[in-house]
């Protein structure tokens, strides 16, 4: 029989968020604390890897202490540790993985290296006192993972059984938001600002290109959209841009959201799947949530978009992915390394 884990510790440090969580054996999040580094990277207009790993080093152990304190648990209660070890920024991944290995060695409990995207894919199954998966949420489902680093679409068949059916061939959707925000001087990360400015804008104000919609695959491309936006902005005066900022943002946002939705619609049809999840930082986008909800309501599909704390990079999703693998008898060796690029 598979071993049962009562308490598992999750660690996520693959990019710029330091996150620690404790889950019980049912995937219930007892506590999660995430430290965001947006402010320290803001002056550079993007993530500086050296600064990211240094900040993980400063934040990680205090967060472990804090999470345990909140759950009234001691390290000796933890029976397994899951840490993201691929893909991501090497320095950042190392901080989380070395911490996981050290705890594993000193506590004599197993650790497991988790693929970051597996965490995002499984996030809809997480539970806490404010979120639970939609009723009847189960396999198979379509999983759209959209963040600053990834835009991928999977058919999720079971725990550990993921079929990648499409991905961005260039920029990720979040990158497309961030780069456009940079053109408009909106600050970093720009997705939230574009979302805000779009609220009162006309999404049909300007028709930005929608790439690869007529191709017979589920891949995405956002670099043409970015180039087209650059050209478009260069034809406008500063005054025009300021006056129509909301309309321009809403139109640009619509181009991204509509491509994501159209590909998901096509996939749902081809694979006859009635359950859809969207995770990753871009799933915070209010227009994306509205458009996906409308489509799922109209077509009687079940939509799972977990709350932001489980959608952006977080340790709870890593703990859950690790828990399922540990329960399955898997664990990682102390010789295991980190990997910058890894597919799933
Ligand atoms: O998952 P995440 O926190 O980190 C990784 O990239 O892994 O995602 C961050 C991305 C950024 O590109 C950010 O601009 C985007 O998510 N984002 C949004 C919104 N909130 C965050 N994009 C559009 N609308 C939002 N409301
Ligand atoms: Zn992520």
d(CA 55, CA 15): 11
249 - beta bridge partners?
Answer: none
Task: For ligand 1, atom 13, name the residue with the nearest CA.
Answer: 191
Q: Can you tell me the distance from the alpha carbon of 184 to that of 178, in angstroms, rounded to the nearest whole number?
A: 10
Ramachandran bin of 185, using left for φ above 0, alpha for ψ from -120 to 50, beta for the remaining angles = left
A 10 A CB-CB count for 102 gives 14
| pLDDT interval class at 166 (50, 70, 90) | very high
pLDDT digits (tens, 9 = 90+) for 101-130: 999 999 999 999 999 999 999 999 999 999
pLDDT tens sequence across 124-157 = 999 999 999 999 999 999 999 999 999 999 999 9
Strand 275-279, strand 141-146: pairing? parallel
How many angstroms separate the CA atoms of 60 and 11, rounded?
8
When pLDDT is averaged across residues 36-50 and rounded to a whole number, the result is: 89
Q: Report the distance separating Cα 322 and Cα 20, nearest Å.
A: 13
Report the pLDDT value the prediction gives residue 1, as an integer from 0 to 100: 54
The residue whose CB lies within 8 Å of the most ligand 1 atoms, and thus the one to mutate among 147, 186, 197, 289, is 147
User: Which atom of ligand 1 has the smallest separation from the CA of 196?
Assistant: 26
Q: How far is CA 66 from CA 12, 39, 343, in A?
A: 15, 22, 33
* Start-to-end Cα distance in the chain: 27
Instruction: Using alpha carbons, list the distances in angstroms from residue 303 to 96, 126, 152, 284.
Output: 32, 15, 17, 14
Rounded distance from Cα 108 to ligand 2 centre (Å): 29
At 336, the pLDDT band (50, 70, 90 cuts) reads: very high
The residues near 290 (Cβ < 8 Å, ≥ 6 apart) are none
Query: What's the average model confidence in pLDDT over 215-226?
Result: 96
Two structure tokens written together for 238: 């500063």
pLDDT, mean of residues 289-308: 98
Q: Which of 253, 303, 274, 264 is nearest to 166 (CA)?
A: 264
Looking at the chain, the number of H-run helices and the number of E-run strands are 12, 10
Residue 223 in this model has a pLDDT that exceeds 90: yes
Spatial contact of 78 and 107, defined as CB atoms under 8 Å apart = yes
pLDDT > 70 fraction of the chain, expressed in percent and rounded = 100
Ligand number nearest CA of 176 is 1
Contact 267, 278 (CB under 8 A): no
Q: How far is the CA of 189 from the centre of ligand 1 (A)?
A: 7
Mean pLDDT of the chain: 96
Report whether residue 87 contacts ligand 1, using a CB cutoff of 6 Å.
Answer: no
Nearest in space to 205 (alpha carbons), one of 240, 239, 177, 181: 240
User: What DSSP character marks residue 213?
Assistant: T
């Amino acid at each position: 029989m598979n071993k049962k884990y009562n308490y598992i510790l999750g660690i996520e440090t693959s990019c710029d968020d330091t996150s620690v969580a404790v889950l019980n054996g049912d995937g219930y999040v007892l506590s999660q604390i995430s430290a965001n580094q947006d402010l320290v990277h803001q002056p550079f207009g993007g993530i500086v890897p050296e600064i990211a790993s240094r900040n993980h080093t400063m934040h990680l152990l205090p967060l472990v202490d804090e999470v345990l304190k909140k759950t009234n648990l001691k390290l000796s209660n933890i029976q397994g540790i899951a840490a993201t070890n691929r893909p991501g920024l090497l320095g950042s991944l190392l901080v989380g993985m070395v911490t996981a290995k050290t705890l594993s060695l000193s506590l004599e409990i197993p650790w497991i290296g988790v693929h970051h995207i597996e965490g995002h894919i499984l996030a809809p199954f997480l539970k806490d006192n404010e979120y639970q998966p939609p009723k009847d949420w189960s396999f198979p489902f379509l999983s759209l993972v959209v963040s600053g680093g990834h835009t991928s679409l999977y058919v999720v068949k079971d725990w550990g059984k993921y079929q990648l059916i499409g991905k961005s061939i260039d920029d990720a959707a979040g990158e497309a938001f961030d780069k456009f925000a940079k053109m408009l001087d909106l600050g970093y990360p720009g997705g939230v600002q574009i979302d805000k400015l779009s609220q009162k804008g006309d999404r049909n104000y300007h028709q930005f290109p929608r790439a690869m919609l007529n191709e017979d695959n589920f891949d995405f491309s956002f670099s043409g959209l970015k180039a087209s936006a650059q050209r478009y902005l260069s034809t406008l005066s500063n005054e025009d841009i300021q006056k129509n900022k909301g309309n321009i943002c809403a139109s640009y946002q619509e181009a991204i959201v509509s491509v994501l939705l159209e590909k998901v619609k096509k996939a749902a049809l081809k694979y006859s799947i009635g359950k859809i999840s969207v995770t990753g930082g871009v799933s915070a986008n209010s227009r994306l949530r509205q458009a996906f909800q409308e489509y799922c309501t109209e077509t009687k599909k079940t939509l799972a978009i977990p709350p932001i704390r489980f959608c952006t990079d977080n340790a709870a999703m890593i703990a859950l992915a690790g828990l399922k693998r540990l329960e399955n008898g898997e664990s990682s060796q102390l010789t295991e390394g980190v990997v910058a690029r890894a597919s799933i």
